[in-house]
Structure 1
């Protein structure tokens, strides 16, 4: 699905429900990350980030909840970022979008308290994905440093001195879907190698 396109999300999730039945686990994971100083940001940059990171999360959750309402159990997980809990230097737009995701999750947790659905956000620091590779290339192009040095800048932000494996984030999501996870609701869970 193109999460910036409401019709794409509506049709995609409706097709999944028609093929497989109600959605009971929704992981809103689509996202983009790019740093840019405030004075270098135009509305197109701002809107693109918000359209993917927060509008896409809203649409995905809204459409999944339409079928989940008819079930007796459900888990909604949004992949936010450590930037959703603190400011990320050089990335105010990204930071704002990830804070908004956590606000959406907390609002939904309050709305559905007492129901058999939970809403949580996972907040990883730098994860070993294409986003890190793309950002390393972008940093190198802007600063003149080589890509390995640019990548090391991101690795060094993680206190444990390495990038987080995607599987670590996936395991946290599975834990939120496990038996006896129903009291974990409205949380922003850090996966950040000890960042505090």
Structure 2
């Protein structure tokens, strides 16, 4: 078999080989699943989060080698730029960014104080702004890039008691669409995935609220959340990860400016 055939086989099995991908909030849940999927596709990963221990645990699960972590708070503009510059110096230019880090808090609107409001917008919207600014110039210079924002069905529909979270995720969807138009001719795609209720530690807040208000058990509360999905189940982190992986593939160039629900039909866009 000649060298060209060998290279074709390698690219078929690892289509993201040679691409440096950064995933924020990669210590658990959806972020960890995305990191595992991108590594399976051949990418070299930098995992970003506020605590080293969970990032290191995820890093140990990744296929291939050369991966690393960067401890940084995505809401800190200067810290993000410093961490991303260091990652690029060590692993090469950043070709893929997955803005996954986020937080969810709920309260009736009348009890949503300025601290909660600002926290939800800062983590869920300013964080992606900080990270995207840190990588965009490099992607433009390379004429290739993939930016995937992990939004939520709360960015496509309204839910009671999470006004701040919904506002932030709607903002992230708008950010996705606006940036997509700016870079449409530059070899860069910008998309969002919008999971429904997903079986991760983040869901525990919603479960706790149901338990507190109704007296149901945690299992019953989770079952109630699952029933909002027409498939009758909670979304799994791997469901989201596979969608993100697809959006990052070299052949996904025409998928651009989209906000794709991963929610079993709970929200249908058209």
TM tier relative to shorter chain: over 0.9
| Whole-angstrom distance in 1 between the partners of 2:152 and 2:88 | 29
| Whole-angstrom distance in 2 between the partners of 1:88 and 1:5 | 29
More divergent stretch after superposition (140-149 vs 94-103): 140-149
Equivalent runs, 1:1-196 vs 2, <5 Å: 1-195=72-266, 196=268
Deviation at 1:143, TM superposition (A): 4.2
* Structure 2: segments with no counterpart, 5+ residues: 1-71
More divergent stretch after superposition (136-145 vs 89-98): 136-145
Deviation at 1:97, TM superposition (A): 0.5
1:17–1:67 Cα contact (<8 Å) kept:
no
1:24–1:73 Cα contact (<8 Å) kept:
yes
- Structure 1 runs of 4+ off > 6 angstroms? none
* Structure 1: segments with no counterpart, 5+ residues: none
Q: Secondary structure at the match of 1:127?
A: coil
Deviation at 1:120, TM superposition (A): 0.2
Q: Whose Rg is larger?
A: 2
Greater relative contact order structure (CA < 8 Å, 6+ sep): 1
2:140–2:186 Cα contact (<8 Å) kept:
no
Q: Secondary structure at the match of 1:157?
A: coil
| Whole-angstrom distance in 2 between the partners of 1:50 and 1:157 | 25
Q: Secondary structure at the match of 2:164?
A: helix
| Whole-angstrom distance in 1 between the partners of 2:101 and 2:198 | 14
1:73–1:116 Cα contact (<8 Å) kept:
yes
Structure 2 length normalisation: TM-score?
0.70
Structure 1 length normalisation: TM-score?
0.95
Deviation at 1:175, TM superposition (A): 0.6
More divergent stretch after superposition (19-28 vs 86-95): 86-95
| Whole-angstrom distance in 2 between the partners of 1:150 and 1:34 | 17
Q: Superposition RMSD on alpha carbons, in Å?
A: 1.3
Give aligned pairs, total: 196
Q: Deviations over 1:21-70 (max 9, x none)?
A: 11100000001112211101100000011110000011111112132222
